[in-house]
Structure 1
Amino acid sequence: MTEVLGVAALIGSGLTAGVLFAVALSVLPALFAMETGTYVYAHRLLGRNWDPTMPVIVLSSTLADGVLAVAVTGTARPLFAAGAVLLLGVSGVSHLCNVPINRRVKAITDPAVLPPDWEDPRPLWRRYHYLRTALALLALTVNAAALNAM
């Protein structure tokens, strides 16, 4: 059973890292190249299918890592614990930093008419996204090492 959970944690952290890396590599530069109104419209379209898919993947992988951190012994134990902490960090950055920005952007009813106090959220969103991408890549690396150490 621990092997199955280990593979699940690896696949989940790999999916998480891959999706976040793809967004950093391709989606973010495209969003930065857009005029503000077009960006708001595109941002609203892009976010439609991430929830609840990505939170389920990240939190399921975190849970698998947490269970493995208790269930296994030896070198793999602290590695799975680190994987859980790193994925929890991905979730925390997402929910506490990126999601509130997403909600502000989605609250704009007409992308052609921005509120007078509008501040472009793209630079801040990108910083948070890079942080969670780095955490996800580290989680993938740690989970691969942990699975190898089992």
Structure 2
Amino acid sequence: MRDTLSVVTVVVVGMMVGVEFAVAVFVNPILDRLPEDGGIGARSDGARVLGRVMPFWYVGSVVLGGGWAAVAWGDAGAAAVTAGVALLVASVVMSLLVLVPINARVATWSREGAPADWKQQVGRWDRFHYVRVAVIVLAFALFAVALARA
């Protein structure tokens, strides 16, 4: 049971990290280079789609990590799992306090209806998103270390 839980957790968190990394490093920079504010509609659509999916993915990752930490308590790697879960919880809190409010605004935009400061708003989202990506990458690394120790 513990082995299955640890592998599923690493896979789920790893895929989440991959998606968030791709958004930060590839997708949003490409959208920002589209001519004539062409990225507004794509960012808005991405905010709506990922805004529906990612909360379940983040919370699911925390639950899986918490379950793994509980069943591995006292074993080798349990401290790494616990630290990874704490980082995921921090990423959820950061998301709720900073990223979700911006994302909710972006989700309502269209090319014709974006506010004048839309570039500043998505720039702020991007900067906080880079921090969140770093946090979840570290959580993933801790989970991978714990899995290797199991």
Q: TM-score, normalised by structure 1?
A: 0.86
Deviations 1:49-80 (A, max 9, x none): 22432222221121121122222123311111
8 Å CA contact 1:98, 1:129 repeated in 2:
yes
Choose 42-51 or 6-15, whichever is displaced more: 42-51
Structure ranking higher in helix proportion: 2
Whether 1:85 and 2:53 are equivalent positions in the alignment is no
Q: Which residue identity is paired with 2:129?
A: H
Output aligned runs, 1:130-145, within 5 Å. 130-145=130-145
Distance 1:118 1:149, change over 3 A: closer
Report the 3-state secondary structure (helix = DSSP H, G, I; strand = E; otherwise coil) of the residue aligned with 1:47: helix
8 Å CA contact 1:8, 1:61 repeated in 2:
no
**Alpha-carbon shift at residue 26 of structure 1 (Å):** 0.9
Deviations 1:80-131 (A, max 9, x none): 10111111122222222121111122334x5325446766312211111101
Choose 46-55 or 135-144, whichever is displaced more: 46-55
- Sequence identity percentage: 31
Q: Which residue of 2 aligns with 1:112?
A: 112
Structure 2: which 5+ runs fail to align? none
Choose 51-60 or 112-121, whichever is displaced more: 112-121
Distance 1:54 1:114, change over 3 A: closer
Q: Whole-Å Cα distance in 2 between the matches of residues 116 and 146 of structure 1?
A: 47
Pairs aligned (count): 149
8 Å CA contact 2:28, 2:43 repeated in 1:
no
Q: Whole-Å Cα distance in 2 between the matches of residues 138 and 117 of structure 1?
A: 32
8 Å CA contact 1:86, 1:139 repeated in 2:
yes
Q: Which residue identity is paired with 2:68?
A: L
Q: Whole-Å Cα distance in 1 between the matches of residues 86 and 57 of structure 2?
A: 15
Q: Which residue of 2 aligns with 1:100?
A: 101
Q: TM-score, normalised by structure 2?
A: 0.86
Structure 1: which 5+ runs fail to align? none
Q: Which residue of 1 aligns with 2:70?
A: 70
